[in-house]
Amino acid sequence: MIDIKLIREDKDKVLASLRRRGFRGDFGNIIELDEARLTLLKEVEELKREKNIASDKIGLAKKKGEECEQDMVRMKEVSGKIKNLDNLVKETQDILEKELLNLPNLPHPDVPDGLSEENNVEVKKWGIIRDFAYPVKSHQEIGESLGILDFARGTKVSGSGFVIYRDLGAKLARALINFMLNTHAEKGYREVSPPFMVNRESCLTTGNLPKFEDDLYAVGDKTAYLIPTAEVPVTNMHRGEILPEKSLPIKYAAYTPCFRREAGSWGQDTKGLIRQHQFDKVELVKFVKPEESYKELESLLADAEDILQRLNLPYRVVKLCAGDMGFSAAATYDIEVWLPSQNRYREISSCSNFENFQARRGDIKYRPEGGGKAIFLNTLNGSALAVGRTIVAILENYQEEDGSVTLPEPLRPYLNGVERITKYSPLTKGE
């Protein structure tokens, strides 16, 4: 959530920053509500000061045995006004916060201008793109031929946008999860296994609500939601807390399934694993001091890249332009892995710095070691990595002419030494 003080002190600058994201609104109602709240607060403070003076006067009069009935009647009236005004302050504050919750984060000044992915800036490329001497197949063709991906039965069981991993497909997904978690643990990330369902407050903190409610799977009467990413429960682990400065940075790694309604008519992505309503992901979440957050973003990016480098999968890193970033992000890097069947790079990870945007929404602070006022910390998160898309990249980049798939060496210990996925017997209707 944007600090209301920023809007109050320099609304034109804030509005210009939001325009970079494609924001077309204004602050009319927000400014009016803020001014009304400040006026009410000033009136309440004056009445409370009057009440304190009257209380002291009444107390002194009683000690002296003097008449104070008139002052007591006045103090009762003042107390009633204070109560009414306090309620008005709360009502105004609640409306103001609802308005602020719909404003996206301010992009960092170094974020490129632009409103679509065409304006994203390539930062680097890594790896050697394999030159195939035979026609390449898509991951869907490969997975179905090998009997490790069953899209037909996934659709039968749950509808479009679902898949069933079978045999070495299921084992490969599990191996990737363990490989990723173990790799991140080596770098000081603490593994957590959070709930896969969260309450409304948690979705408000990370920015999924209220703006993106239609993308979430609501449970019952919308008091709970299936998580769209581990970012939501893990970030909310410290909601409403004041952390000691010496505990920062805090780094978590979590595996969860992710549930999103956004999959749909996406051209070639309607088939295969690129867009699914349910998919697995290992997520990294950081809680850091503000002055260290951009150094930590670079470190987060490197940790996500390291997974692809260990798997020897070619990729590139792009810096997202202001209009292509997520609602809560101040700055974002996307990692895009090379897919031979599409002859292009596709997103496999996003690494974002939210600055204090989520911390303000979730009231997450830290206390400086020397004492003093608690400060909103900064939150970051990144996919490291999306499991399904990593499987896509492995199947396509490691495919062989005979239809088999060679497995990257780092994964073989997690698969009992299996080096290659070969064709299984065709699936039968009754199998």
Residue 265 structure tokens: 């008519």
**Alpha helical stretches, state H, 65-138:** 69-101
Residue 127 gets the label, from left (phi > 0), alpha (psi -120 to 50) or beta, of: left
Q: Return the number of other C-beta atoms located less than 10 Å from residue 16's C-beta.
A: 12
Query: What's the rounded Cα separation, in Å, for the pair 190 and 192?
Result: 6
Q: Taking CA 282 as the corner, what is the angle to CA 280 and CA 285, rounded to the nearest 5 degrees?
A: 135
**Mean pLDDT calculated for residue range 93-112:** 95
Q: Return the number of other C-beta atoms located less than 10 Å from residue 5's C-beta.
A: 9
Is residue 426 over pLDDT 50?
no
**285 DSSP β-pair partners:** 252, 381
Q: Are 380 and 351 in contact (CB under 8 A)?
A: yes
| pLDDT, position 79 | 84
Q: Are 365 and 376 in contact (CB under 8 A)?
A: yes
**Mean pLDDT calculated for residue range 320-330:** 97
* HSE toward the beta carbon, residue 363, CA cutoff 13 A: 4
Q: Are 327 and 358 in contact (CB under 8 A)?
A: no
**Ranges of CATH 3.30.930.10 domains, the chain:** 117-421
Residue among 245, 205, 203 nearest 359 (CA): 205
> Residue 221: which pLDDT band, with cuts at 50, 70 and 90?
confident
| pLDDT, position 427 | 45
* Mean pLDDT, the chain, whole residue set: 92
Residues 41-84 have pLDDT tens digits of 999 888 888 777 777 676 776 666 676 777 677 777 778 888 99
In the set 141, 352, 389, 396, the catalytic residue is 389
| pLDDT, position 387 | 98
Q: Are 234 and 285 in contact (CB under 8 A)?
A: yes
Residue 131 structure tokens: 């030159």
Residue among 146, 202, 192 nearest 363 (CA): 202
Q: What is the percent of the chain where pLDDT is above 90?
A: 83
**Ranges of CATH 1.10.287.40 domains, the chain:** 4-101
In the set 174, 347, 400, 412, the catalytic residue is 347
Give the H/E segment covering residue 275: none
Active site residue 347: yes
| pLDDT, position 428 | 45
Active site residue 401: no
In the set 20, 21, 275, 360, the catalytic residue is 275
| pLDDT, position 67 | 67
What phi, psi does 18 have (nearest 5°)?
A: -70, -30
| pLDDT, position 55 | 74
| pLDDT, position 268 | 57
| pLDDT, position 263 | 47
Active site residue 260: yes
> Residue 425: which pLDDT band, with cuts at 50, 70 and 90?
very low
Is residue 267 over pLDDT 70?
no
Active site residue 389: yes
Span 117-421 CATH architecture = 2-Layer Sandwich (3.30)
**Mean pLDDT calculated for residue range 29-38:** 94
Q: Are 209 and 200 in contact (CB under 8 A)?
A: yes
Is residue 289 over pLDDT 80?
yes
Q: In this predicted structure, which of 43-57, 263-277, 314-328 has the lowest mean pLDDT?
A: 263-277
End-to-end CA distance of the chain: 52
How big is the chain by its Cα radius of gyration, in Å?
27
Is residue 431 over pLDDT 80?
no
Q: Taking CA 349 as the corner, what is the angle to CA 347 and CA 352, rounded to the nearest 5 degrees?
A: 120
Tokens 């064709």 belong to residue: 423
In the set 260, 296, 299, 383, the catalytic residue is 260
| pLDDT, position 351 | 98
In the set 350, 360, 361, 383, the catalytic residue is 350
Q: CATH for 4-101?
A: 1.10.287.40
Q: Who has greater pLDDT, 341 or 70?
A: 341
Active site residue 316: no
